[in-house]
Structure 1
Amino acid sequence: MPRSSPRPDGATRRAGRKKDPQIDQAVLRATLDMLEEAGYAGTSISAVASRTGVYRPAIYRRWPSKQHLVAEAVASVLGQEPTPDTGDLRADLLTGLGTLVDAFTSTSVSRILPALVADLAHRPMLRREFLDAVFQSRRASTARRLRAAAERGDIRPDFDMEFVLDALAAPVYYRALFGHGPVTPAVTEQSVDLVLASLQPR
């Protein structure tokens, strides 16, 4: 099958995608293992192909570049619907942010995220796809819980949603990116409690 042609920004559409979910999962798992062992710079499609026994053309049909492959591997770890809706907003927010803590402390995501973000800066279309797949979907999940809490009267309704979403997750991402402090459940509790204090009904 011919490979799809490149787009102007270097991204391509993935031809023949998702024909064999088992191959997809094996390649993503191998990619995460490679990232853990060799880091972002040491991970390559050739190495992943060798580890999985999947031919390189089959991988390229699914992921046209290393950046596409690593971006989806990271997305598979971070998840897209992290915040549940139990009716207890604080508990739900802690659960949602807790998935970030788990990902950043139990996998190599926090170590490779800076290099991936730097690479995505030069690939605007892939960057947009990655943000939509990971960050925007996670934010939408949390936004729905905040709106439901506002409708119940648990928090005031007149708040800046985008700022609140930023404020909730920023300390975790900041520490993961710069490594100046540990990413711990205590950080998520401080973030959630600080934000909820500002959202108390007047």
Structure 2
Amino acid sequence: MTRSSPPPADAPRTAGRRKDPQIDSAALQATLELLAEIGYAEMSFSKVAERVGVHRPAIYRRWPSKQHLVAEAVGSALGHDPTPDTGDLRADLITGISTLVDSFEGTVVGNVLPALVADLAHHARLREDFLASVFQARRDSTARRLRRAAAQGEIRSDFDLEFTMDALAAPVYYRALFGHAPVTRKLAEQSVDLVLASLATR
């Protein structure tokens, strides 16, 4: 009988994944707490496991790397369905963008973002996972609201959806990354108003 080859180093460890949702939730919360207390560089699986009260394998079986754990924790703080549909397009878009403002200014996410973005640039698998599970999920929420507004004649229909979603969030991400100016709700309102002005029906 031949021995099977070991999995690649970057292959996800799926054994035990999602067997206990309480551990997943506790680990994500512990990660955010540790990021706030000791920072991205010092946070480790061992420290998360100690904080949660489980053995280290219970953590690394769920996430293939520390970076994956941090990315999912950041995603849990940002939320995956930020833009509601209340019938007021401006208010809905402001609500969606304000979830970024709240996360960057009210949690550790803003401090972690530069390091996480750097890791996304150097790890293709991590980038793909983050874009699929966090980034795209948030954009889908906004896209649905914009499509409905276009279908109802609130905004013109011949607009570039991808560019519009970039334009809505870009000022908030830019300030969060470079820290040259505050990230505020007013910024969210300014971004939305600028975009809506470009989408006005003729």
Structure 2 length as normaliser, TM-score?
0.94
CA distance in 1, matches of 2:193, 2:13: 42
Structure-2 separation of matches of 1:79 and 1:54: 26
Report how far residue 106 of structure 1 moved.
1.0
How far residue 120 of structure 1 moved from its aligned partner, in angstroms, is 2.1
Matches within 5 A, 1:150-189: 150-189=150-189
- Cross-structure match for 2:20: 20
Between the aligned partners of 1:13 and 1:189, the Cα distance in structure 2 is 42
| Paired position in structure 2 for 1:132 | 132
**Deviations along 1:129-154, whole A, 9 cap, x unmatched?**
10111111111110110010001100
Is the CA contact (8 Å cut-off) linking 2:13 and 2:61 kept in structure 1? Answer: no
**Cα deviation, residue 11, structure 1:** 4.4
Residue equivalent to 1:41: 41
Partner of residue 7 from structure 2, selected from 5, 8, 13: 5
Tell me how far 1:171 sits from its aligned partner. Answer: 0.3
Any idea what SS the aligned residue of 1:54 has? coil
Given that residues 149 and 155 in structure 1 are in contact (C-alpha distance below 8 angstroms), is that contact kept between their aligned partners in structure 2? Answer: yes
Residue 119 of structure 1: how far off its partner (Å):
1.4
1:34/1:64 CA distance change after superposition, 3 Å: same
Distance change >3 Å, CA 55–CA 84, structure 1 → 2: same
CA distance in 2, matches of 1:69, 1:152: 41
Q: Which residue of 2 aligns with 1:112?
A: 112
Q: 1:11, 1:126 within 8 Å by CA — same for their partners in 2?
A: no
User: 1:123 maps to what in 2?
Assistant: 123
Can you give the 5+ residue segments of structure 1 that lack an aligned partner in the other structure?
A: none
Residues 108-142 of structure 1 deviation map (CA, whole Å, 9 limit, x = unaligned): 10111111111122220121110111111111110
CA distance in 1, matches of 2:184, 2:154: 27
Q: Distance in 2 between matches of 1:153 and 1:72?
A: 37
Cα displacement (A) at 1:14: 2.6
Q: Which is further off, 183-192 or 46-55?
A: 46-55
For residues 146-165 of structure 1, the C-alpha deviation after alignment (integer angstroms, 9 at most, x for no partner) is: 01000110000000011100
Tell me the equivalent position of 2:58: 58
Could you tell me how far 1:15 is from its partner in structure 2? 2.6
Q: Which residue of 1 aligns with 2:88?
A: 88
Q: How many residues matched?
A: 197
**Matched residue of 2:61: which SS?**
helix
Unpaired segments ≥5 residues, structure 2: 1-5
2:113–2:177: 8 Å Cα contact kept in structure 1?
yes
Q: Which amino acid aligns with 2:122?
A: H
d(CA) in 2 for partners of 1:125, 1:30: 24
Q: Distance in 2 between matches of 1:116 and 1:143?
A: 25
Q: Partners in 1 of 2:117 and 2:14 — Cα distance?
A: 21
Secondary structure of the 2:27 match is helix
Equivalent-residue separation in structure 2 for 1:34 and 1:6 (angstroms)? 29
TM-score (norm 1): 0.94
Q: Tell me the C-alpha RMSD between the 2 structures.
A: 1.2
**3-state DSSP class of the match of 1:121?**
helix
